[in-house]
Amino acid sequence: MSKVIFDCAISLDGFFAGENRSPENPMGGVSEKLHQWMFKQKAFWKHIKAEGGDEDSADGKLIERVFARTGAYIMGKRMYEEGEVHWAEDLFEADVYVLTHEQRAPWIQNGTTTFYFINDGIMSALKKAKQSAQDKDIRIQGGANTIQQFLNAGLINECFIHIAPVFLGSGIRLFESIDKDKYDIIISEVIPSNLTTHIRYQLTQKK
């Protein structure tokens, strides 16, 4: 059965993004600090359809794995607007559901990526994403606020956190105002690495 997952990097002090995010300053300029572990990996650059990276190690396998398991994406409007000016065409190779108040026809890209613009909330997006994903997983791509909405609705089955050994001091926290009573959580996988610590959690909604 499809899982609803998220998979993202945070700083040691819990930040998912920096201050003053905009299309000109995606993630508030902190991507390099949080994603250093990815930037070294050939798998990352291959995924974004560019040249780069000098390693092909265990960290790279994780990048491939989450990409391969994901059958549909859901993201917030701000992440979409920050990203789409930078993303290669057909980056996601799947249906992407963007939560927005803007009414807009689907954007069908060359390849297999289509952006759908959803005006009626997370449950509607999730229902459509499940149809797209079939037996693959649905990844809540971000931003933090979108992930928090799914968390607090009890809809997340699994998350994979990559904790970078860096302080950001300010910005947008991944886990802000989380409903503390929603889930039983177990640690399912811990993968040490030099530039980050990968921890996978399974979340089960409390009865």
Least distance from C-beta 206 to its own copies, angstroms? 11
Least distance from C-beta 118 to its own copies, angstroms? 27
CA distance 152 to 175: 10
DSSP 25: B
Closest to its own copies by CB, 80 vs 183, is 183
d(CA 145, CA 204): 20
Distance CA 168, CA 177 (A): 19
Tell me which residues touch its own copies (CB under 8 A): 12-14, 161, 163, 165-170, 173, 175-183, 185-187, 190, 192-197, 199, 201
Residue 176 Cβ vs its own copies, minimum distance, rounded to whole Å = 8
State in angstroms the smallest separation of the CB of 159 from its own copies. 9
Nearer Cβ to its own copies (129/203): 203
What minimum distance in Å lies between the beta carbon of 181 and its own copies?
Answer: 8
59 and 81 in contact (C-beta within 8 Å)?
no
When the beta carbons of 66 and 199 are compared against its own copies, the nearer one is 199
List beta partners, residue 201: 159, 187
Find the helix packing angle between 122-133 and 144-152, rounded to 10°: 90
Q: Which is nearer to its own copies, 1 or 190 (CB)?
A: 190
Q: What kind and span of H or E run contains 60?
A: helix 58-69
Strands (E), the chain: 4-11, 15-17, 70-76, 95-99, 107-108, 114-118, 137-142, 158-164, 172-173, 183-192, 197-205
| Residue 139 or 173 having the CB closest to its own copies | 173
User: Minimum CB separation from its own copies for residue 48, in Å?
Assistant: 25
C-beta closer to its own copies: residue 88 or 186: 186
